[in-house]
A = this chain, B = another copy of it.
């Protein structure tokens, strides 16, 4: 099947594609806020209707214990391989609202950028595949490969129901599957596409420290009763040593170290310290000595605090010793760390260093295994070529610091590689205020997807039966 008609169609209908994407972005489908559950469901239903409208054979909104999975398939070609296309229609909260220049759920065009929560992460990227598929179906009445779309609504809360879903449906999903395409990562720039071949894992923990059962007057008791905020700060401060290394005993035991060859490859193709600092808009880097910033965010683990709260946080003063203080802690893990083992090490460590004058609790959640993808796999190499067709330059291979829970699942349950065909840009402000999507890149993403559908259709059964093995360098 030739992509020329599909490509022409995609170019002709850009204005409509943009209008539809805006509709998609208007849903505040925030998975981490219980009060948004209805919006999440409405968004799923809108997405399902849209998929039916463009010509998918089978579309279902599949309930889970949490938010529904939108599933859509087109599988008329028994002689061709099957691509699984994964994306997520849930988003992070818009807060802090006062730091947005436009309302997060009122998609707003500014020059070449569409501003909205989820514009890049991940509605816009997901939508580029939908529009590629539409372009083929409307011009050729068929796709060059079989496609099964899995669009989940819980990625931002650690995909608790996605792995069970994939496991339950492993036979249907795995049949003839070549690879899982995931567009939820970044390129190096608008001119330089990139394919991620490594993802950090993760673990979230809520560390809470309790002092006296009731707020105490800080004059009457200050100096004689332990302040739980001070105790929490002590614990959090003690998580790093002066070299930026994490002090939890055993934390580095399973961290894989990489040889000179891999580190040279990373230095050559990955972002420089300067590029990372520019993307973050900060002047100075921070972290573990002996590693570049790119290495610190990819082959080295991290522990940070997403949020902290305790005592009187409103305006004005209140002379109290608070009763409790909470830190929301986030670990980013690397091969071969196990989130379950790290959870136990962290628990043990906190229990050990909590002074007897306060009490502490640790709740862990959202464990995500780190993942590596073999960049020599033909389905991965095809993505490289597809980028070259759309962007004029082949993609380079980079590691990602983030965590996409499902990568590990596809690899381990279905035995297929995740092809991390990202279209985000470093300055898209995903997870922050003023998230945006670069529209010229969005349009090229649609074309990249059209090319990828085309290129993978030529792959024979030998590739299909070649089970994915995690790459070992």
A-to-B contact residues, CB < 8 Å: 31-34, 92-93, 95-96, 99, 156-158, 186, 200, 202, 204, 211-227, 229-230, 232-234, 236-240, 276, 279-282, 284-288, 293-294, 296-297, 300-302, 304-323, 325-328, 330, 332, 355-357, 365-366, 400-403, 429-434
Contact = CB atoms under 8 A, between A and B. Distances in A.
Contacts of A234: 233, 237
Given A32-B318, A220-B297, A305-B322, 6 more contacts: A92-B319, A99-B215, A224-B296, A232-B308, A313-B328, A317-B328
A93 B300 CA distance: 46
Nearest to A30: B316
B222 A332 contact: yes
Contacts of A326: 313
Contacts of A319: 92, 156, 202, 306, 330, 402-403, 431
A96 B213 CA distance: 13
A297 B236 CA distance: 26
A361 B279 CA distance: 25
A332 B219 contact: yes
Contact of A308 (B229, B239, B330): B229
* Residue in A99, A321, A325 with the greatest tally of chain B CB atoms within 10 Å: A321
Contacts of A431: 215-218, 318-320
A357 B286 contact: yes
A326 B213 CA distance: 24
A327 to B, nearest CB: 7
Contact of A302 (B222, B356, B429): B222
Contact of A330 (B93, B96, B218): B218
Given A158-B317, A311-B306, A322-B307, A286 B226 contact: yes
A131 to B, nearest CB: 25
**So how many copies of this chain end up in the complex?**
2
Nearest to A215: B432
B433 A218 contact: no
Contacts of A96: 215
Find the residue from A92, A223, A433 having the highest chain B CB count within 10 A.
A223
Given A305-B311, A322-B306, A328-B312, A402 B236 contact: no
Contacts of A287: 223-224, 226
A225 to B, nearest CB: 5
Contacts of A325: 308
A218 B203 CA distance: 12
Contacts of A233: 232-234, 236-237, 305, 308
Contact of A93 (B212, B304, B318, B433): B318
A419 to B, nearest CB: 19
B315 A214 contact: no
A57 to B, nearest CB: 35
Given A218-B304, A311-B328, A225 B317 contact: no
B304 A204 contact: no
B306 A157 contact: no
24 contacts: A31-B316, A92-B318, A99-B215, A156-B318, A211-B282, A220-B279, A220-B401, A221-B297, A224-B294, A224-B296, A227-B305, A229-B327, A233-B305, A284-B356, A285-B357, A305-B322, A306-B321, A308-B313, A309-B310, A309-B313, A312-B328, A317-B330, A319-B403, A320-B432
A92 to B, nearest CB: 6
Contacts of A229: 236, 304-305, 307-308, 327
Contacts of A286: 224-226, 355, 357
A359 to B, nearest CB: 10
B33 A221 contact: no
A430 B218 CA distance: 10
A285 B225 contact: yes
Nearest to A228: B305
A69 to B, nearest CB: 19
Q: Which of A99, A204, A221, A296 has its CB near the most chain B CB atoms (within 10 A)?
A: A221
Given A280-B212, A313-B308, A357-B286, A219 B237 contact: no
